[in-house]
Amino acid sequence: MKLCYCLTQLLILSELSIFATIFERKIDMDIGILEDTIIAIATPPGIGAISVIRLSGTNAFEAIDKIFLGKTKIKNSKTHTIHYGKLCDDIEIIDDVLVSVFKEPNSYTGEDIVEISHHGSPLIANKIISLILSKSDVRLAEPGEFTKRAFLNGKIDLAQAEAVADLINSRVAVSLRGARNQLNGLLSAKINDLRKRLIDLSSFTELELDFAEEDIQLISRVDLVHKINNISLEIGELIESYSFGKVIREGFNLVLAGEPNVGKSSILNYLVKESRAIVSHIPGTTRDTIIEEISIDGFFLRLYDTAGIRNTDELIEKEGVERSRGEVKKADVVIFVGDVNVGFSEDLEAQLLELNPSVKIIKVLNKIDLGVNKDFNEDFKISALSGIGMIEFIDGLKTMSFGENVYTEKDAIVTNIRHMNCLIKANKALLKSKKTVEKNLSGEFLASDLWVAEMALAEIIGEVTPEEILNNIFSKFCIGK
């Protein structure tokens, strides 16, 4: 028993040492970064009315004061104030500017920040940045480095930092709301609550280990399993939300598939509200894949109109059919289009499922304006030409594509694959801990399982995050953010 105890303690200590090493590497890395003052243009490249250049770091005020002519020195200004003046080099005035001042710790990064608003010429922006770099101890910012500093300085956690990138990349209302909720800390609050409850359980378990010889139980095994089950259930609900969260963040791939001349292109034209695809009574008109982006009730959808899938010896059409099959493989939902003349081919439906076994197929019977004399077991009846049934089809498309789960703005939703993988890891550790209790194994094993679960949750919000993961996350940001 003592040997078992010692081995388990060594296992736990080795795991702790790994994370301690990660922390040490992270701290060493952070100190090197935070000593620098960084600069970047914070607005999109190109010509505009105004552009903004951002500096952050200990030398930010000193750097701007070397080239700014105004009524007061920036370093002597109050925080959250704006100052008008001119930026000059040794020879001439570069531009009239407004300089915004944000003093640490009450700034985006938690450091001293200066934001220079100038006329939106790329030439002016380059001159200002070059001048500051030449006159001061300042370097160009890396992608996402301002947000990275906000994370390192404790202004936001890692999940919130990732939400900043999602917010910038939002293209429709739903993805914008999802990113905003995550930035506001909705998911972080849920993760922190789960972590706190795990830490409470770990505390009981660790304390019991100190009284192992007295065989004292601070929490009954029944209560322990009950609490583990509750935490596991809530983590499972977060994992289930990812299928919806992925749609919020990345959009949805809808592929129009079917035999030639059933009206796929007509449906596309109706949904995008323009004649995007050529419509003809001649079979095989669509030879290449047409991609359109649309929004339905705030959801971002990529709609693929494909060539009719059939056997053909015509070389160009054959290539179009192969491309159609390729799009089906990547689809989230296939809108399987048939018409009142041919219905739905069972062979073609089998091909669709063979190409993508997990795809959701929605059967749409088109051309009902010609009359329907047979039941084709369709999900929707429409006429893309006259518009009959299209409103019902669009409403039903959303429900059938996204499922019955209804999430509100108050729900914590997982939209990030990294977060989901951490949750899966945490849940596996919890299931293992429950088996440990049920088998009445030593408390050291239970403590180790709970610790693994807690560390997995900590990784989501950046309490424990290896350097390579941090670098990968922030490298995907734009420069200046």
Does residue 207 share a domain with residue 310?
no
Establish if 20 belongs to a structural domain. Answer: no
Inside any domain, residue 118: yes
pLDDT at 30 over 50: no
Measured distance CA(72)–CA(85) in Å, rounded: 9
Tell me, yes or no, whether 456 lies in a domain.
Answer: yes
Residues 296 and 387 in one domain: yes
From the DSSP assignment, how many helices (H) and strands (E) are in the chain?
16, 13
- 99-145: pLDDT as tens digits: 999 999 999 999 999 999 999 999 999 999 999 999 999 999 999 99
- Indicate if 185 and 96 belong to the same structural domain: no
**Together in a domain, 278 and 218:** no
Mean of pLDDT values over 133-160: 93
Average pLDDT value over all residues in the chain: 80
Has residue 248 got a pLDDT over 60? yes
Cα separations in angstroms, 295 against 316, 333, 357: 32, 15, 26
Residue 82 burial (10 A CB sphere; 0-12, 13-18, 19+): exposed
* Contact by Cβ (8 Å): 47, 72: no
Instruction: Enter the tokens of residue 309.
Output: 């899938």
397 and 417 in one domain?
Answer: no
Containing H/E element for 27? helix 2-34
pTM given for the model: 0.75
Q: Are residues 377 and 436 in the same domain?
A: no
Q: Which tens digit of pLDDT belongs to each residue from 266-302?
A: 888 888 774 443 333 434 444 456 778 777 777 778 8
For 401-425, how does the pLDDT look when each residue is reduced to its tens digit (9 = 90+)?
766 666 666 778 898 999 999 999 9
CATH code, 261: 3.40.50.300
Do 141 and 480 contact (CB within 8 A), yes or no? yes
Residues 266 and 386 in one domain: yes
Domain closes at, from 122, 156, 190: 156
The predicted pLDDT at position 33 comes to: 55
**pLDDT given for residue 278 in this prediction:** 35
The CATH number that applies at residue 109 is 3.30.1360.120
Positive/negative CA dihedral, 230, 231, 237, 239: negative
What are the pLDDT digits (tens) for 450-464? Answer: 889 999 999 999 887
Q: Which of the listed residues 139, 156, 173 is the one where a domain comes to its end?
A: 156
Same domain, 109 and 144: yes
Asked whether residue 391 is domain-assigned, the answer is yes
| pLDDT tops 50 at residue 13 | no
Domain count, the chain: 3
Highest mean pLDDT among 33-42, 229-238, 253-262: 229-238
Q: In this structure, is residue 17 part of a structural domain?
A: no
Domain of residue 190, residue span: 181-241+411-462
Look at residue 470 and tell me if it is in a domain: no
389 and 278 housed in the same domain: yes
- Confidence check: pLDDT of 427 > 60: yes
Whether residue 415 is found in the same domain as residue 396: no
Q: What is the pLDDT of residue 285?
A: 45
Same domain as 221, residue 105: no
Between the alpha carbon of residue 161 and those of residues 75, 151, 267, 433, 438, the distances in Å are: 28, 7, 40, 31, 39
CATH number of the structural domain spanning residue 433: 1.20.120.430
Residue 384 lies in a domain: yes
Cα–Cα distance measured from residue 320 to residue 309, given in angstroms and rounded to the nearest whole number: 9
* Together in a domain, 223 and 284: no
Q: Is the dihedral of CA 477, 425, 458, 27 positive or negative?
A: negative
Instruction: Encode pLDDT of 172-229 as tens digits.
Output: 677 777 888 888 888 999 999 999 999 888 877 766 555 555 555 556 777 888 888 9
Q: Is residue 45, in this structure, part of any structural domain at all?
A: yes
pLDDT of residue 18: 37
